[in-house]
Amino acid sequence: MTALVDQRVVTPRLLACVQRTGAFDLASHVAVHGWPKALDLPPSRRSRLAPWAEELLTDIEDAGLTGRGGAAFPTARKLRAVLSTRRRPVVVVNAMEGEPASMKDQVLLSFAPHLVIDGAELLAAAIGAKEVLICLPDDRIEVGSVLRATLAERDRAGLLRSPVHVATPPGRYLVGEESALVDWIRGGPGLPVFRPSKGAPLTLGPCVALVHNAETLAHVALIARHGPEWFRSAGVPGAPGTCLVTLSGAVARPGVYEIEMGTPVADIIDLGDPTATPAAALVGGYGGGWIPSSAFKAPYTPSAMRELGAATGPGILVALGSASCLIAETARILGWLAAERAGQCGPCTYGLPAIAEDLAQLARGTGDRGLLRRLERRTGQIAGRGACRHPDGAVRLVQSVLRNFPSEVSEHAQGRPCASALGETPLPLGVPHWP
C-alpha cells in the first residue's frame, strides 16, 4: 500500500509525517506535527464549553473547514447544531468510505492514524463528549489492525483522553451516509433515515451523534495546532485548505494525492502521469459527474464542480481513457448504484433500475426513439425525492452526461456502433452488497 502515497504532493499537510519520516508512529507524529496543547487542558463540562474549546470552535469556523466526506457541509455548523441539542455528544468518526473509487480515508488511517485520532479527541474534549466511536468497514482488516495498534500505542503512552471504541459496520455503499451509519450504531440495519434537514441531530439513546469524516477530523487536528490563517494559506478563498484526492483510471500512477483546493483539474490528473490526455473525467465519484477535457482548466472546488454539473464529493477523480466509452461506464455505475440502493423509497427502487436499463440500451445503441426523452423525464422525476441523497447523486451523474456530452449521447441514440462500449472499464465497481 506504500505505493499509494505519492511523494510529489503539492502541499503535504495531512500526510506530512509519513512523507518526511517514512513512519507514522506516535514519536514521529509528535516530532513532525507537535502535540496539541488543548489535549492537556481540562475538557469542557456537559453544558459549558471550556475557553479553549470555544476558541477551537471559532477557529474551525474562521478556517472555513467543510466536511470532506462528500457533502462539503460546514464543520462548525454541524458542531453548533449538536451543541444546541443539549444532549451529551458521542463523536463518530466516519471512515466508511463506501465509494469504490475512493481510497483516501483508508490511506489516511493507514499512514496518519494519530492525526485522525487527535482530531476526534480534540472535538470530544471540546464538546464534552461521552466517547469516540471510529467506524470503518468490516472488510478493511489491515486498516483496522493499524488503527487498533495506534490506539493501543496512545493508551500505553497515557495519551487517550476519551474512551475510544472501534466499530466495523458492513462495508456497504450506503452505510457511509451519516444517518445510515447512526442507524446501524443504534442496532438497526444501517439504512438512511429521513431527516427534515442536514442539520437535524441524530440521536443515540440519551446522547447525540456528531458524525465527521476521518479526513475532516485530521484537518481539525491541524487547525487546533496552527490556527485558521495557516489553514486558509492553502487553497482558494471559497474553498480553503488542502484535501485528499483519489486519482484513478487512465493514469500510470493511480493513488491518493493531497492537493490544494482550487488546483486545476488538469494539474491533479497530471500528478498521476496520464497515459494520454483523457477525454473526460469523473469528478466526485459515483454521485458526482463527468466533465469534458475542455473543462479541465477549472479549479477543483465544490462550487466550480457544481457549476460543471459534477461535485467534489469525497475527493475522487477518474480519468477516462480513449479506449473507454463514457456512456457504457455510466451505465455500469448506474447498475451498481441501483444494486446498492436501500430499497426504502420508490424513486430509488423503481427509478434507478429503470434509468440503468435506459443507459445500458443507449450504450449498446439499441434504444428506441423515445429513449432520450424518457431518460430526461425519469431523471427529472427522481431528484430530491428520496429519504437520502442516493438517487440525487445517481441522477446528477446521468445529467452530467446528457449535459456535457451531447454529441456522444446523440450518436449513441442514433444507434451508431460504439467500439469502446465493450472495452475494459477503468472503474472499480466492487460487488454490490444490497439487497
Partner 1 sequence: MNPTPTIAATSSQALWYLTRASGIVALLLLTGTVVLGIVTAGRFRSANWPGFALQALHRRLAGIAIAFVGLHVLTTLMDRYVSIRWIAAVVPFTSSYRTFWVGIGTVALDLWIAVAISSVLRRWINPRHWRALHWLAYGSWPIALAHALGMGTDARLSWVQGLVGISVASVVLALGWRLHRRWSDRPPRQDPLAARRTRGDVLGANR
Question: Does residue 31 belong to the site contacting partner 1 (CB under 8 A)?
Answer: no
**Gap between the Cα atoms of 28 and 367, Å rounded:** 59
Shortest Cβ 171–partner 1 spacing (Å): 15
Peptide bond into 237 cis (omega under 30): no
Question: Does residue 141 belong to the site contacting partner 1 (CB under 8 A)?
Answer: no
Q: Which stretch binds partner 1 (CB under 8 A): 155-163, 218-226, 273-281, 364-372?
A: 155-163
Q: Which stretch binds partner 1 (CB under 8 A): 55-63, 161-169, 280-288, 316-324?
A: 161-169
Question: Does residue 204 belong to the site contacting partner 1 (CB under 8 A)?
Answer: yes
Tell me the site size for partner 1, rule CB under 8 A: 39
- Phi and psi for 250 in degrees, rounded to 5? -80, 55
The binder of partner 1 chosen from 79, 191, 214, 418 (CB under 8 A):
191
Q: What's the one-letter identity of residue 383? A: A
Mask: binding to partner 1, 38-77, rule CB under 8 A, as x and -?
----------------------------------------
Question: Does residue 25 belong to the site contacting partner 1 (CB under 8 A)?
Answer: no
Cα dihedral: 60, 61, 67, 73 (round 10)? 170
The binder of partner 1 chosen from 34, 51, 205, 384 (CB under 8 A):
205
Q: Which stretch binds partner 1 (CB under 8 A): 150-158, 220-228, 286-294, 403-411?
A: 150-158
The binder of partner 1 chosen from 49, 207, 236, 402 (CB under 8 A):
207
**Gap between the Cα atoms of 356 and 223, Å rounded:** 43
User: Distance between terminal CA atoms of the chain?
Assistant: 31
Closest to 102 measured CA to CA, from 289, 314, 254? 314
Interactions with partner 1, residue window 332-361 (CB under 8 A): 344-345
Q: Which is nearer to partner 1, 66 or 162 (CB)?
A: 162
Question: Does residue 114 belong to the site contacting partner 1 (CB under 8 A)?
Answer: no
Q: Which stretch binds partner 1 (CB under 8 A): 30-38, 188-196, 306-314, 406-414?
A: 188-196
46: its cell numbers: 456537559
Question: Does residue 21 belong to the site contacting partner 1 (CB under 8 A)?
Answer: no
Interactions with partner 1, residue window 360-419 (CB under 8 A): 387
The binder of partner 1 chosen from 75, 102, 106, 162 (CB under 8 A):
162
The binder of partner 1 chosen from 55, 61, 131, 411 (CB under 8 A):
131
Chain contacts with partner 1 (rule: CB under 8 A): 84-86, 90, 130-133, 151-152, 154-155, 160-167, 184-187, 191, 193-194, 196-197, 200-201, 204-207, 209, 344-345, 387
